[in-house]
């Protein structure tokens, strides 16, 4: 049996935007926290340009079908390269926030960009991230989190991310197959929604929401004339690497932390690159990439 990878020493860069104690406490209490102004307008505009203009991003789109038979698309990557969107996942503010919340040294699992076109009536059904990562052999849900960045304005009308407050305390919920993906058991969700609060995570460009791997989340239709764009970045603790048979699909590459100025200093060579070539492991299990 191969040994788990041990973390390398990180660089000496420290973030200029650490999470506050209030933000950290809310994450543990509620299963999510919104960090306002996590990236500034100049940084986010660069990502907006990539989403509009980079043909590599469009070529990497994969389709997910919801319970109504309607589809939405995501552009996904797992490795760490020199593209702008990959550099964002390695900035000190992202890495330190993830490691603070999981209380461990992290590595990048995978990320994706999801764009909802104007007047798009598809939705993302209620689900938990840990449903997928449990099946990947990751043992501890507390050691896994998602950071979702608002690349454009995200209001309720845009179909913003929705979370169920304190649902991370429920444990892993059974999911049922719908379309080419899964959702939380609808009967269970009726009871959950009777007891717990649904929160619309309305965000301005550059805001970020961090949420626990068992936090139930989803999104509704985009009813506006604007494209709604979110970037989802998933981090796992190095100590929580999956069992050996799943490790090839998600190699543990310790993060080399970059300065928070990396984007403005143009420490990238392209806009978007996906290292997932033929998507063989996606086709084996297309449900791995659901997110709102």
The residue behind tokens 């299990």 is: 285
pLDDT value of residue 8: 42
Report d(CA 173, CA 152) in Å as an integer.
Answer: 31
* pLDDT at residue 51 tops 60: yes
> 130 vs 168, 200, 226, 278, 286, CA distance in Å?
10, 21, 31, 25, 15
Torsion, CA 67, CA 68, CA 71, CA 74, rounded to 10:
-30
Calculate mean pLDDT across residues 49-71. Answer: 78
Domain annotation covers residue 198: yes
Look over the chain and give the mean of its residue pLDDT values, rounded to a whole number.
88
pLDDT (tens digit per residue) in 171-204: 999 999 887 778 999 999 999 999 999 999 999 9
What range does the domain containing 136 cover?
32-289
The residue behind tokens 């454009």 is: 152
pLDDT category at 70 given cuts 50, 70, 90 is low
Domain annotation covers residue 11: no
More confident: 287 or 16: 16
DSSP, collapsed to helix, strand or coil, labels residue 42 as: helix
Calculate mean pLDDT across residues 143-165. Answer: 98
pLDDT value of residue 291: 46
Calculate mean pLDDT across residues 240-262. Answer: 86
Torsion, CA 13, CA 16, CA 18, CA 22, rounded to 10:
160
pLDDT value of residue 248: 76
Domain annotation covers residue 201: yes
* pLDDT at residue 81 tops 90: no
pLDDT value of residue 7: 38
Report d(CA 46, CA 68) in Å as an integer.
Answer: 34
Tokens at 101, concatenated:
């919340």
Domain annotation covers residue 197: yes
| Distance, C-alpha 209 to centroid of its chain | 9
Query: Could you tell me the pTM of the whole model?
Result: 0.90
Report d(CA 120, CA 70) in Å as an integer.
Answer: 9
Number of domains in the chain: 1
Domain annotation covers residue 56: yes
CATH code: domain of residue 202: 2.60.120.620
pLDDT category at 65 given cuts 50, 70, 90 is low
More confident: 127 or 74: 127
* pLDDT at residue 80 tops 90: no
Report d(CA 88, CA 45) in Å as an integer.
Answer: 13
pLDDT value of residue 168: 98
* pLDDT at residue 245 tops 60: yes
């Amino acid at each position: 049996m191969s040994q788990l990878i041990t973390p390398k020493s990180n660089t000496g860069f420290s973030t200029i935007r650490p999470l506050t104690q209030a933000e950290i406490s809310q994450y543990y209490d509620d299963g999510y926290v919104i960090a306002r102004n996590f990236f500034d307008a100049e940084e986010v505009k660069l990502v907006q340009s990539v989403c509009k203009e980079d043909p590599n991003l469009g070529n990497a789109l994969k389709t997910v079908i919801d319970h109504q038979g309607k589809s939405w698309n995501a552009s996904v990557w797992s490795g760490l390269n020199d593209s702008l969107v990959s550099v964002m996942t390695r900035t000190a503010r992202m890495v330190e926030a993830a490691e603070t919340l999981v209380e461990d040294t992290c590595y990048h699992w995978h990320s994706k960009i999801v764009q909802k076109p104007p007047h798009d009536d598809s939705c993302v059904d209620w689900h938990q991230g840990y449903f997928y990562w449990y099946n990947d052999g990751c043992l501890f849900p507390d050691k896994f989190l998602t950071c979702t960045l608002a690349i454009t304005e995200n209001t309720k009308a845009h179909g913003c991310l929705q979370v169920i407050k304190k649902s991370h305390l429920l444990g892993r919920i059974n999911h049922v197959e719908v379309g080419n993906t899964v959702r939380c058991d609808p009967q269970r969700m009726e009871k959950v929604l009777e007891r717990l609060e649904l929160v619309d995570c309305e965000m301005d460009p550059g805001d970020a929401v961090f949420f626990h791997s068992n936090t139930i989340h989803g999104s509704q239709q985009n009813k506006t004339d604007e494209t709604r764009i979110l970037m989802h970045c998933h981090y796992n603790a190095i100590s929580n690497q999956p069992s050996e048979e799943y490790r090839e699909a998600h190699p543990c590459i310790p993060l080399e932390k970059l300065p928070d100025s990396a984007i403005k200093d143009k420490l990238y060579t392209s806009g978007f690159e996906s290292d997932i070539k033929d998507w063989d492991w996606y086709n084996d299990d297309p449900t791995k990439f659901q997110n709102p």
